[in-house]
Every structure is written in structure tokens, then in C-alpha cells.
């Protein structure tokens, strides 16, 4: 009886699988952006059993499922090398806001915080697959807390560093693709450079990279960049600067200098790359503007407002005690009341605070970074992220920076979203449209693709992404997530699973 039930179940699963994944598929008539950065070309892409079998002018064989790609661009699935969906994927395996952007692979555990143990997390992802492929980093802060507990507000001893390095090795053996750090954040900020170097060496021994939210993205950005480069140099490990940024007025318009610093390191053999998200603003509570937390001390508030380029760059979006301030800048409110922005700030905090949007970067710096060949596109978002980058990053780059402002060409933007991160993480078979590659693919309309998510409506899905396949299975079609959860776990050098 029991075995009969099992047999029926197995048969039913097999049928489901067949329905979800046609054995053979041909996409005809699309312009191919193959991930290399080379020019678009018209070709038909043939897929069998989850892999691309050929890219040519042949028509579909009889029995193939046929997809008409006319007027569309077909690209490799986007690989988001900085994604914060680790804890959300269990509850939301469809990852709709990610798939809807064309993301087919997410790299989890950035900024120093990762799941732990790595092996257990990856086993869970294998047991309950998601629509996207996942890879994971070992978090520096994660292992630091495991070793130091709550006593982390100090430099680690040699013995503690050794124990952390052992944990990094364990994480790498269990399938992590590198070490991430968040040296600007509470736990990581107490570490000395030498501690991070030792852990990076442990990751390097297993072919991993070092990915860092560097120690400072404001006044001391350049020191922080130099430290990241030094870690790469001393540990002999590739370095990825996360969401590269010049986030305060004293460093605005210095992206060319930052790029020169990285170019010089690359020239002497340090393998440094970066990723960047396409937004010039952050959203948080008004108090984060004042790092020394003296919210009612006018000189501290003055400095805080100067650092974001003035009160005109602080937009009040949610002020329960002052609805009349909403969607106005601090500068405008102060002008109306014949007072100073600092006085308005102090009043708002006293009355319970407010949500604000602050300017973090100037457009010309974002443009300079995106024009560097070593800069990739990444979201720093993820499932449930309340910043519009969580649902908009990739279409935003293609719609606004490629089509509207022509900062970079379409093939080059696609390269930054596909083969560049795939090469960085040595993800074999991904990031390219070529015979033998895994069929993670995105079909989009280059004339309409654009983000729609905003700070007010962060989950609005983009337009223009028409179909997304993961391992040859359709996961997104005509504005809807599909039932297939064909994502797999990726580790360095993964051929396929």
C-alpha cells in the first residue's frame, strides 16, 4: 500500500517536472547580448535539458517549444553579487522581486553577516529550492561573534583570530565562495587590518574572494579603499569592493581619484574589482544623520547637514508628529518657518523623529564608477528590501543609464551583470550565452525596460522583463512568477547540479 502511494507520487513528480521543463526549447529572432560585452547579434538559441546546445541561424527542430524573441534582447540571467535575501528565501522561495528584475543568481551573506553553519544553510536551499540560484559568503562579523561572543568591542587575540580563521575554512569547505566583511558596522569595526588579512588568507586557500563593505564610505573613503587593497595584497586574494560609494560632501566628485587608486593596485597585480548600485540616495530614520548621536546639540546637527551637502538634500518622508513636513526638504521647511534647518531637525527628533531620504552620492560619481571595466552591477537589496534597489536595480541600469543617459552600452551593461560576476566567483557555465552554458536566461524589451520601485513604493516591479529561465525552466513569464523553483546551489567552480 505504502509503496504503491510512493510510486504514484514519484510518477506525479516526474510528470510535473516534464511539464515545467520542456526537454527542448528554441528562442528565435532575439538580439543576443551574450555576456561578453561584444556587439548584439541576431541568432536563435537552442536549449535542451537545461543547457544551451547551440547559438546559430537554424530554426527549431520539430517538437521544440518555440519562443518568439523578435524585437527583444536575450541575455544571460543576471548575477547579483551583493544580495540580502538569505533569511527571506525560506518563506519566499519564489523571490518575485528578484526574478522580476531578471536576477537568476543571488550571492548571499555580504557585509560581514552570513548564515551559519554554511553547510546547513546550503543543505536547506537544496532541500527546498528557490526560483533563483544561490551562492553564499562566510561573514566576518558572523565568525567574529561566534568566537568572541558579546565581548567583541576590542581587537581579537592571536588565538581568537586563529579560531575565526578555522571557522572561515570550515565555511569555505562547506561551500562558501568567499569571505565578506562589513568593517563600517558594529562588530567588524573593532577588527584590526591584520585580523581580516588572516581570515582572508583562509578564504584564499579555498579559492575564495574577499568582498568588503569597507571601513568608511564618507570622509575616510580613501583610507578605507587603501585598507581593502592592502588586505588583498597581503592575503593574495581577489578583492571585491561592495557598493562602491563616495558618500559625503567632502569626497563627492572624486570618483576618478578612487578609480585611479584601484587601477594603480590592479597594475601592480592586486586583483581588485567593485560593484555599484544605481541610486544616489538612502532612506532611514532622521537620527542616522548624526553619527555622534547628539541630536539636540546644534554643532553636531550643523555638521551632519553639511556632510550630506546641505538641508536641501534631506527629504522628510514620514513624520507622525508633523504630517505637514512630509515630502518637503528640511531646507524648505526651515525657510517657511524663518528658522534654521538645524532647529527644525532638533524639533522633529524631540517630537518623535521622522523617516528621511538622504543624498548619498552624486550622479557623476556613479557614472564614473559604472564606466570602469572592473565595476559590476549589484543591488545590495534582496527579497523584502525597503529601498527601491531591492526591486529595481537591474532594469534601472538598463533603462536609465543605458537607454536614456547612454552612460554605457547595452552589451557592456549586460557584461557587468553576467559574465563579470560569474568570472569573479568562478561560476562555471554561467554568465554567458554559448553552447554548453547553463540556460539561465532573460528576455527583455530594450525599448521599455525600466524600474518602477520608489522609496514610497519599494516593491513595485519593473517593466520590460518578459521571460526569465533558470536551468531552462521558465520562472517568470508575462509579469508573473511561475511555479518552477529550479534554482540550485552554486559553489566556486560549480559545473551544474
Chain positions contacting Zn ion, by CB under 5 A: 111, 213
Residue closer to Zn ion, measured from CB, 145 or 213:
213
Residue 437 CA, chain-centre distance (Å), reads 23
Q: Are the CB atoms for 235 and 204 separated by under 8 Å? A: yes
State which residue, 357 or 442, has the beta carbon closest to Zn ion: 357
Q: Which is nearer to Zn ion, 111 or 307 (CB)?
A: 111
Q: What is the biggest distance separating any 2 CA atoms in the chain, rounded to whole angstroms?
A: 83
Which is closer to Zn ion, CB of 197 or CB of 276?
Answer: 276
Shortest reach from residue 239's CB to Zn ion, in Å: 15
Residues 6 or more apart in contact with residue 3 via CB below 8 angstroms: none
User: Closer CB to Zn ion, residue 213 or residue 387?
Assistant: 213
Closer of 85 and 318 to Zn ion (Cβ): 85
Pick between residue 184 and residue 473 the one whose CB is nearest to Zn ion: 184
Burial class (CB in 10 A: 0-12, 13-18, 19+), 54: middle
Nearer to Zn ion, 72 or 84 (CB): 84
In the complex, minimum distance from the CB of residue 491 to Zn ion, in angstroms, rounded to a whole number: 23
CB of 213 to Zn ion, least distance (A): 3
| Closest distance to Zn ion from the beta carbon of 353 (Å) | 23
Q: What string of H, E and C letters represents the secondary structure of the chain? A: CHHHHHHHHHHHHHHHHHHHCCCEEEEECCEECCCCCCCCEECEEEEECCEEEEEECCCCCCCCEEEECCCCEEEECEEECCECCCCCCCCCCCCHHHHCCCEEEEEECCCCCCCCCHHHHHHHHHHCCCCCEEEECEEHHHHHHHHHCCCCCCCCCHHHHHHHHHHHHHHHHCCCCEEEEECCCHHHHCCCHHHHHHHHHHHHCCCCEEEEECCCCCCCHHHHHHHHHHHHHHHCCCEEECCCCCCCCCCCCCHHHHHHHHHHHHHCCCCEEEEECCCCEEEEEHHHHCCCCCCCCHHHHHHHHHHCCCHHHEEEEECCCCHHHCCEEHHHHHHHCCCCHHHHHHHHHHCCCCEEEEECCCHHHHHHHHCCCCEEECCCECCCCCCCHHHHHHHHHHHHHHHHCCCCCHHHHHHHHCHHHHHHCCCCCCCCCCCCCECCEEEECCCCCECCCCCCCCCCCCECEEEEEECCEEEEECCEECCCCCCCECCCCCCCC
Exposed, middle or buried, 381 (CB in 10 Å: 0-12/13-18/19+)?
buried
Closest distance between Zn ion and the C-beta of residue 135, in Å? 17
Least distance from Zn ion to the Cβ atom of residue 193, Å: 19
Give least dist CB 80 to Zn ion, A.
13
- To Zn ion, the closest distance from the beta carbon of 387 in angstroms equals 11
Q: Residue 213 or residue 389: which is nearer to Zn ion going by CB?
A: 213
Q: Smallest distance, Å, CB 82 to Zn ion?
A: 7
Which is closer to Zn ion, CB of 213 or CB of 471?
Answer: 213
The least CB distance from residue 303 to Zn ion, in Å, is 23
Q: How far is the CB of 268 from Zn ion (least distance, A)?
A: 27
Sheet holding 133-136, edge to edge: 78-80, 103-108, 133-136
Choice between 137 and 255, CB closer to Zn ion: 137
Nearer to Zn ion, 245 or 328 (CB): 245
Question: Which residue in the shown chain puts its C-beta closest to Zn ion?
Answer: 213
Shortest distance (Å) from residue 360 CB to Zn ion: 12
**What residues form DSSP beta bridges with 359?**
281
Beta bridge partners of 28: 68
Amino acid at each position: 500500500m505504502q509503496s504503491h502511494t510512493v510510486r504514484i507520487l514519484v510518477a506525479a513528480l516526474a510528470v510535473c517536472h516534464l511539464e515545467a521543463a520542456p526537454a527542448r526549447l528554441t528562442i528565435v529572432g532575439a538580439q543576443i547580448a551574450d555576456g561578453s560585452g561584444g556587439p548584439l547579434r541576431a541568432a536563435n538559441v537552442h536549449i535542451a535539458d537545461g543547457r544551451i546546445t547551440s547559438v546559430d541561424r537554424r530554426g527549431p527542430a520539430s517538437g521544440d517549444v518555440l519562443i518568439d524573441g523578435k524585437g527583444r534582447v536575450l541575455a544571460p540571467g543576471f548575477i547579483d553579487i551583493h544580495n540580502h535575501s538569505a533569511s527571506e528565501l525560506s518563506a519566499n522561495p519564489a523571490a518575485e522581486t528578484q526574478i522580476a528584475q531578471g536576477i537568476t543568481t543571488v550571492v548571499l551573506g555580504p557585509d560581514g553577516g552570513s548564515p551559519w553553519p554554511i553547510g546547513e544553510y546550503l543543505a536547506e536551499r537544496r532541500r527546498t529550492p528557490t526560483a533563483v540560484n544561490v551562492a553564499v559568503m562566510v561573514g566576518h562579523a558572523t565568525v567574529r561573534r561566534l568566537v568572541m561572543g558579546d565581548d567583541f568591542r576590542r581587537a581579537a587575540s592571536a588565538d581568537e583570530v586563529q579560531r575565526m580563521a578555522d571557522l572561515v575554512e570550515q565555511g569555505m569547505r562547506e561551500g562558501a565562495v568567499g569571505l565578506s566583511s562589513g568593517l563600517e558596522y558594529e562588530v567588524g569595526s573593532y577588527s584590526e587590518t591584520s585580523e581580516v588579512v588572516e581570515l582572508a588568507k583562509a578564504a584564499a586557500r579555498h579559492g575564495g574572494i574577499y568582498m568588503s563593505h569597507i571601513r568608511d564610505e564618507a570622509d575616510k573613503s580613501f583610507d578605507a579603499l587603501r585598507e581593502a587593497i592592502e588586505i588583498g595584497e597581503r592575503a593574495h586574494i581577489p578583492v571585491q569592493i561592495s557598493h562602491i560609494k563616495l558618500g559625503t560632501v567632502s569626497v563627492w566628485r572624486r570618483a576618478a581619484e578612487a578609480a585611479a587608486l584601484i587601477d594603480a593596485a590592479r597594475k601592480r597585480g592586486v586583483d581588485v574589482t567593485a560593484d555599484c548600485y544605481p541610486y544616489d540616495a538612502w532612506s532611514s530614520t532622521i537620527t542616522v544623520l548624526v553619527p555622534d548621536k547628539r541630536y539636540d546639540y546644534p554643532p553636531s546637527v550643523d555638521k551632519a547637514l553639511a556632510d550630506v551637502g546641505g538641508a536641501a538634500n534631506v527629504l522628510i518622508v514620514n513624520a507622525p508628529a508633523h504630517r505637514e513636513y512630509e515630502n518637503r526638504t528640511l531646507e524648505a521647511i526651515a525657510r517657511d518657518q524663518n528658522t534654521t534647518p538645524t532647529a527644525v531637525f532638533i524639533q522633529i527628533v524631540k517630537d518623535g523623529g521622522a523617516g528621511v531620504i538622504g543624498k548619498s552620492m552624486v550622479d557623476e560619481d556613479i557614472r564614473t564608477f559604472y564606466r570602469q571595466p572592473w565595476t559590476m552591477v549589484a543591488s545590495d537589496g534582496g527579497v523584502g528590501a525597503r529601498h527601491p534597489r531591492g526591486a529595481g536595480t537591474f532594469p534601472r541600469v538598463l533603462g536609465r543609464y543605458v537607454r536614456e543617459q547612454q552612460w554605457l552600452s547595452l552589451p557592456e551593461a549586460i557584461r557587468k551583470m553576467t559574465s563579470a560576476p560569474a568570472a569573479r566567483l568562478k561560476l562555471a557555465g554561467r554568465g554567458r550565452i554559448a553552447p554548453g552554458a547553463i540556460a539561465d536566461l532573460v528576455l527583455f524589451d530594450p525599448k521599455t525596460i525600466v524600474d518602477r520601485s520608489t522609496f514610497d513604493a519599494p516593491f513595485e516591479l519593473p517593466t520590460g522583463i518578459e521571460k526569465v529561465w533558470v536551468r531552462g525552466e521558465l520562472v517568470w513569464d508575462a509579469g508573473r512568477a511561475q511555479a518552477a523553483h529550479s534554482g540550485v546551489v552554486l559553489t566556486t567552480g560549480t559545473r551544474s547540479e
